[in-house]
């Protein structure tokens, strides 16, 4: 049975519709109200607050921790400066992705890593004789993500951290009512946003301070349903949905490389050896088999199919996570890939999806066919291949002008 996070007594008050989900063994609100569009709109127009405690969290310490992480991660972590954060993935030695997450350098020799899957045993397997200690803080530390255009103002109001100068993917320490916490300018919405982390015992203090500060800025609790819409618009892949960890995959076909996931930009290939480097070099040279793309699904064609049934067009409320076949543009019997998640995007007003397709069809602008089920009939509509990132506002990375 899932357990509550340290924020549970607060989130429970807000969760009017009792729509709880089990996220890695914790109760997490899928949505806070029956109609939950506003949770999404908070991300884009004011601020949405999400309990992200269920993420797996590790503290990696010791003199060799930087070089250790550099060996494990696709990115050269040794280049990470104090208080800097980065997003990357980690692979097995076949170059297949094990998981993805953020790495933050909190002290000279202390890193904070978040992951989607339990990773203690995987990390620990490589410690061997090096001066590295891995501490699983998943159940002793908690986190809230505050995401949206007013998130900076809210945090500025509740603590003294210099947020005007905190750049995208940097961290800072802060205090609230005597309790320590730290802020990272990171998130999973593709918008201006922060994640705040603290020890469990400070949870309620931190929550209340943010909530109080947010009153004037239309802060709202947001559930993972809203988060899903935002992250698909932002083109952010999800472990277990858009790909499978190679540790859980039962066959090679279920595994993916960073390049295939569109995470090639997180791979620092030319450096001292790291896990999967050889295979990734080979792939880089020879090309990938698969690619992760965005699909812009043709709306008029969908409308037309609905018309045939004398119905107005509609899509599922919120995001979906089913596997949907994607076919060749000229041949609807030739499957060239599959969509793994999708949503109606309120930000770009398009029906979009994230898909894994054969690399040959991955060029933006390529036309493909996408399966839709309307009134129990399977049909296809056309779709245009795009980059997965549909939404990327300037405010995400910018800082206020001085």
Partner 1 sequence: MSKVDVIVIGGGHNGLTTATMLAKKGKSVVLLEKRNILGGIAAGEEFHPGYSTSGLLHDTSAVRSNVIKELGLEGHGLVVKNTRPTVSILADDGRSIELNGDTATAAQNIAKISEKDGKAYTDYRAFLDKISKVINDLFDNPPPGIDVENLTMSSLVMLAKKGLALKGLGKKTMLELLKVTPMCLNDFLSEKFETEFLKAGIAGPAIYGTYAGPWSAYSTVNLLIWECAARNTIIGGPQALVEALEKAAKQAGVTIRTEAEVEKILLDDNDDEKVKGVRLKGGEVIEATTIAASCTPKITFLELFDPFEIDYDLDYWIDKVRSRGTTAKVNIALNKQLELNGAAVEFARTGNTFDEMEKSFDPVKYREITTAPILDIHVPSMSNAGLAPSGHSVVSVLVHHAPYNFEAGWSEEEKSKLKDSVLKQLEKYSPGIYDAVEGVEVLSPLDLESRYSLTEGHIYHGEHFVDQLVTRPIPSCAQYDTPIKGLYLCGSGSHPGGGITCAPGSFAAKAILK
Partner 2 sequence: MAKKYDAIIIGGGHNGLICAAYLAKAGKDVLVLEKRHIVGGAAVTEEIYPGFKFSVCSYVVSLFRPHIVRELNLAQHGYDIIPMDSSFQPLHNDVGLCRWGDGARSRREIARFSKHDSEVYGEFGKVMTHMARLAKEVIDHPAPDVASINPKELASLLRMGKVFKNLGPEMLQMNTKLLTMSSADFLDLWFESEVLKGPMAVSGVIGTFLGVRSPGTAYVLLHHYMGELDGAFRSWGFSKGGTGGVSDACASAARSYGVEIRTEVAVSHVKIVNGKAKGVVLANGDEIESKIVISNLDPNRTYLKMIGENNLDADITTEIKRFKMRGSSGKVNFALSGLPQFCKGREGDEYMRGDIAIVPNVDYLEKAYDQAKYGEFSERPFINIVIPSLTDPTLAPPGKHVMSCFVQYAPFDIKEGPEHWPQLSEKFGDAVQATIKEYVPDFDSLVLHRQVVTPWDMQETFGLTEGNIFQGELTLEQLLFQRPIAGYAKYKTPIDGLWMCGSGTHPGGGIMGSGGELSAKTILNDKAI
Contact positions vs partner 2 (CB under 8 A): 1-3, 22, 24-26, 118-122, 124, 136, 247-248, 250-252
> At its nearest, how many Å lie between partner 2 and the CB of residue 93?
12
Burial 222-238 (b: 16+ CB within 10 A, else e): bbbbbbbbbbbbbbbbb
Q: Cα(143)–Cα(7) distance, rounded to whole angstroms?
A: 9
> At its nearest, how many Å lie between partner 1 and the CB of residue 71?
5
Q: Is 93 in the site for partner 1 (CB under 8 A)?
A: yes
382-386 long-range CB contacts below 8 Å, 24 or more apart?
Answer: 382/298, 382/301, 382/329, 383/295, 383/296, 383/297, 383/298, 383/326, 383/353, 384/295, 384/296, 384/298, 385/293, 385/294, 385/295, 385/357, 385/361, 386/293, 386/294, 386/295, 386/296, 386/352
Q: Which does 248 bind (CB under 5 to 8 A by kind): partner 1, partner 2, none?
A: partner 2
> At its nearest, how many Å lie between partner 2 and the CB of residue 5?
13
Residue 117 or 304 having the CB closest to partner 2: 117
Q: Which does 275 bind (CB under 5 to 8 A by kind): partner 2, partner 1, none?
A: partner 1
Residue 247 or 359 having the CB closest to partner 2: 247
Q: Is 71 in the site for partner 1 (CB under 8 A)?
A: yes
> Which regions of 177-317 does DSSP assign to beta strands (E)?
179-184, 193-199, 219-221, 290-297
CB-based burial label for 392 (10 Å; 0-12, 13-18, 19+): middle
**Which of 252-260, 271-279, 350-358, 368-376 is the region at the interface with partner 1 (rule: CB under 8 A)?**
271-279
Q: Is 121 in the site for partner 1 (CB under 8 A)?
A: no
Residue 52 or 275 having the CB closest to partner 1: 275
Q: Is 265 in the site for partner 1 (CB under 8 A)?
A: no
Q: Is 273 in the site for partner 1 (CB under 8 A)?
A: yes
In degrees to the nearest 10, what's the CA dihedral of 256, 257, 261, 263?
A: 160
Phi, psi of 327 (to 5 degrees): -115, 165
**Which of 13-21, 211-219, 251-259, 272-280 is the region at the interface with partner 1 (rule: CB under 8 A)?**
272-280
> At its nearest, how many Å lie between partner 1 and the CB of residue 132?
10
Give the 3-state secondary structure of residue 285. helix
- Selected from 12, 79, 126, 282, the binder of partner 1 by CB under 8 A is 126
Residue 118 or 325 having the CB closest to partner 2: 118
> At its nearest, how many Å lie between partner 1 and the CB of residue 95?
12
Segment (H or E) for 39? helix 37-45
Contacting residues toward partner 1, per CB under 8 A:
71, 92-93, 125-126, 128-130, 273, 275, 278
């Amino acid at each position: 049975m899932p357990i509550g996070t340290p924020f549970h007594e607060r989130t429970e008050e807000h969760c009017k519709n009792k729509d709880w989900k089990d996220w890695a063994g914790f109760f997490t609100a899928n949505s806070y109200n029956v109609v939950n569009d506003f949770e999404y709109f908070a991300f884009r127009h004011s601020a949405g607050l999400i309990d992200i405690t269920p993420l797996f969290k590790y503290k990696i310490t010791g003199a060799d921790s930087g070089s250790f992480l550099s060996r494990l991660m696709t990115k050269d972590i040794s280049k990470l400066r104090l208080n800097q954060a980065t997003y990357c993935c980690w692979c097995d030695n076949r170059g297949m992705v094990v998981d993805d997450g953020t790495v933050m350098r909190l002290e000279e020799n202390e890193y904070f890593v978040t992951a989607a899957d339990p990773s203690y045993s995987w990390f620990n397997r490589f410690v061997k004789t090096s001066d590295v200690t891995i501490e699983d803080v998943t159940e002793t530390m908690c986190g809230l993500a505050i995401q949206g255009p007013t998130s900076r103002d809210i945090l500025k109001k509740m603590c003294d951290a210099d947020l005007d100068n905190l750049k995208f993917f940097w961290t800072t320490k802060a205090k609230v009512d005597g309790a320590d916490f730290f802020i990272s300018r990171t998130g999973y919405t593709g918008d201006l946003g922060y994640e705040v982390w603290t020890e469990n015992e400070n949870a309620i203090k931190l929550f209340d301070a943010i909530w109080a500060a947010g009153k004037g800025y239309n802060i709202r609790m947001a559930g993972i349903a809203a988060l899903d819409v935002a992250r698909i618009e932002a083109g952010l892949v999800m472990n277990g949905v858009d790909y499978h960890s190679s540790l859980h995959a039962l066959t090679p076909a279920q595994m993916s490389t960073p390049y295939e996931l569109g995470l090639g930009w997180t791979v620092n290939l030319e450096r001292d050896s790291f896990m999967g480097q050889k295979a990734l070099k080979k792939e880089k040279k020879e090309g990938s088999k698969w690619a992760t793309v965005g699909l812009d699904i043709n709306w008029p064609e969908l409308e037309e199919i609905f018309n045939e049934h004398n119905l107005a067009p509609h899509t599922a409320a919120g995001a979906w996570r089913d596997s949907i076949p994607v076919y060749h543009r000229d041949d609807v019997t030739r499957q060239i890939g599959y969509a793994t998640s999708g949503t109606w995007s309120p930000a770009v007003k398009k029906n979009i999806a994230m898909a894994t397709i054969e690399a040959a069809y991955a060029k933006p602008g390529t036309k493909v066919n996408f399966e839709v089920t309307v009134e129990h009939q399977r049909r296809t509509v056309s779709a245009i291949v795009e980059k997965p990132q549909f939404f990327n506002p300037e405010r995400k990375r910018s800082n206020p002008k001085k």
